[in-house]
Structure 1
């Protein structure tokens, strides 16, 4: 009983000490560099070094918050990329909870690799991403139409009234051809907007890989392929 109590006391002491160090880093950072926004600060396997996220990138800093390193931290013993783990952890959602039935589905080749995108038809970066997606092979793309611009709402809803919504989407995003149908029909647009808010997606385009890893922006096809390879998807 005494041994168990001592172990619990030691664990509590270590946890308190670790938290105190994190709070020290946060305090030093806010006092010395108030304009520098670094979130998710936590201790790493390397003594005296703390990780954080800044503008979607993993960074490292010491306790006095006087030095900052951007790059990957590898564990030498097994060459494991600890930075990648943090990046996935801090930018992930549960793929299984995505309502894929509300997305437009496009299959290329075997379709064995899967991604979901959130896209606004009048977002220039979304159009740029669509051009890059055309270069991918053996992939299934789920497109959640997310009309963030006021002019995007009506055509986003109307395309679901077309006989071929996927083609109507491509006509709209690539060529600005609005759907011909003027009738109203059931569509998931409002649900997509609510879903994006729940996932913390406030801009377009957004890409979610089948392991839940989320990135923002019009990633080139080569970078998307690299992420597929990196995570063996």
Structure 2
């Protein structure tokens, strides 16, 4: 789909007007060079600093890397829609199968799906330990390797599940479980994750339902937790 091959130049007056609109809506952050028509009516190709993006006729809305950007509000409209699409209502989580920890008043709530063989998970779970005024629901989610499943099952069947899982997430080995135990709860977590397309660890679900995947920078995570960590009454 070579848009450039069929693009047509705009009249200079129209192109200059669109350049001014782009500059205004982007608060001067984007300087448009060549502007041409595309095969899509009302959609224009813009060259800026060696990059190509697309704008509508108003110059306010741009399309960059598969996302629609409102340049006036400096907002990724596609990201907001994806957040809604991927949200998981907190009350639908299998909280009864989680390892719950309340720190301080615990007014902010967060759930995390973690795998003991996930390096990012090990770093992130230590970071969670340092946060105050939070209720954490940890879900054993062994999806990376067969060894993960064995560790999760051993921790699940331990007398002190929370302590065993903390040991596992720190890179240690859980104590011997002894007699076999009922692992249907662990299976329920795995089923929930599969149904809700939780494909990576760590995956965090805030009280608002917003999903955060992978390595979220600490400062950004704290902002997200403050904005979306309180459950509605």
Q: What range describes the TM-score normalised by the shorter chain of this pair?
A: 0.5 to 0.7
Secondary structure at the aligned position of 1:175 is classed as coil
Query: If the length of structure 1 is used for normalisation, what is the TM-score?
Result: 0.65
Label 1:232 to 1:204 Cα distance change in 2 as closer, same or farther (>3 A): closer
The answer to whether the 8 Å contact 2:108/2:229 transfers is no
- Structure exhibiting the larger radius of gyration computed from Cα positions: 2
Does the C-alpha gap of structure 1 residues 221 and 67 become closer, same or farther in structure 2, counting only changes over 3 Å?
Answer: closer
Larger helix proportion of the pair: 1
What's the C-alpha RMSD, in Å, of the aligned pairs?
A: 3.3
Q: 1:225 aligns with which of 222, 229, 233?
A: 222
Match of 2:163 in 1: 167
Deviation at 1:97, TM superposition (A): 1.1
SS at match of 1:163: coil
Which segments of 5 or more consecutive residues in structure 1 lack a partner in the other structure? 1-30, 34-45, 50-59
SS at match of 2:170: helix
| Cα contact 2:69–2:75 (8 A) shared by 1 | no
Match of 1:189 in 2: 186
Give aligned pairs, total. 178
Give 2:147's aligned residue: 151
Q: 1:135 maps to which residue?
A: 130
The residue aligned with 1:176 is: 172
Q: 1:67 to 1:139 in 2, by over 3 A?
A: closer
- Alpha-carbon distance, 1:85 to partner: 3.9
Compute the displacement of 1:88 (Å): 2.6
In structure 2, what is the equivalent of residue 112 of structure 1? 107
TM-score (norm 2): 0.65
